Amino acid sequence: MLSKSLSKLSLPKKEIVLIALGCLIMAFGIVNIHMPSQITEGGVLGLVLFSHKVLGLDPSAMSIILDVACYALAFTMLGWKFLKKAIIASSFFAGFYRLFLAIGPVVPSLYNFPLIAAVLGGIFIGVGCGFVVTQGGAAGGDDALALVLSRRLNCSIARAYLITDGVVLLLSLIYISPTRLVYSFITTLVSSFLIGQFELRLVKPSFSVQRPAAKIS
């Protein structure tokens, strides 16, 4: 049954498994580390929180609007194959996110240890996101936006994440104290670094040297 479903998606089983694993890791980290520690997010989620806190806009509506806008922008550059993987990744992430919310945090709260929470949360986000984006997918609008920026600016995906998250976190200084927001910057640095390691492995060249053919006299 699973094999038939995967064949309809015309995607290799390995890609779908890695996308699902990445979404599971990210959802677990957000629910168990970031939320109890009150470490805010960059990207689309951070922009949704900013629009709600500062502009008084409905967060549920803004989340949909911003995600759709980012996916539409990415689609114009990356095509149907990206959109298909993005829909799959978003569905997996939404499912795991709802599951972990229903279960509740299973990790002791690190609210009083924000530095540990920032580093640990960054590891979960970086590893999970690394699995997803290296398969060409996107679990949310911020992933799609980072892929577009990476292509447009001809820079690494890790740097693109750092730019988008950094801008949103700077805006968040309007309603969040700098002493608390610094930990969000730390988690962004950690996650961006780890995403970069996945990207390096993806594009790492082969060092096998082909011997020249013998010269025929």
Task: Give the pLDDT score at 23.
Answer: 92
Q: Is residue 115 part of a domain?
A: yes
Q: Is residue 147 part of a domain?
A: yes
Task: Give the pLDDT score at 202.
Answer: 56
Using alpha carbons only, give the angle 85, 69, 198 rounded to the nearest 5 degrees.
40
Domain that holds residue 145: 13-199
CA distance 204 to 69: 32
Q: Is residue 65 part of a domain?
A: yes
Task: Give the pLDDT score at 201.
Answer: 65
User: What does pLDDT average to in each consecutive run of 10 residues of the chain (217 residues)?
Assistant: 51 88 92 86 78 78 84 88 88 89 91 93 92 86 87 88 88 82 90 85 44 40
How many Cβ atoms from other residues are within 10 Å of residue 31's Cβ? 23
Tally of domains within the chain: 1
pTM, rounded to two decimals? 0.80
Residues 6+ positions from 74 with CB-CB distance below 8 Å: 82, 83, 86, 138, 144, 145, 147, 148
Q: Is residue 208 part of a domain?
A: no
Q: Is residue 215 part of a domain?
A: no
By CB atoms closer than 10 A (0-12, 13-18, 19+), residue 165 is buried
CA distance 186 to 122: 8
Q: Is residue 99 part of a domain?
A: yes
Closest CA to 36 of 100, 127, 130, 126: 100
Amino acid (one-letter) located at 35:
M
Q: Is residue 217 part of a domain?
A: no
Task: Give the pLDDT score at 8.
Answer: 52
Task: Give the pLDDT score at 66.
Answer: 87
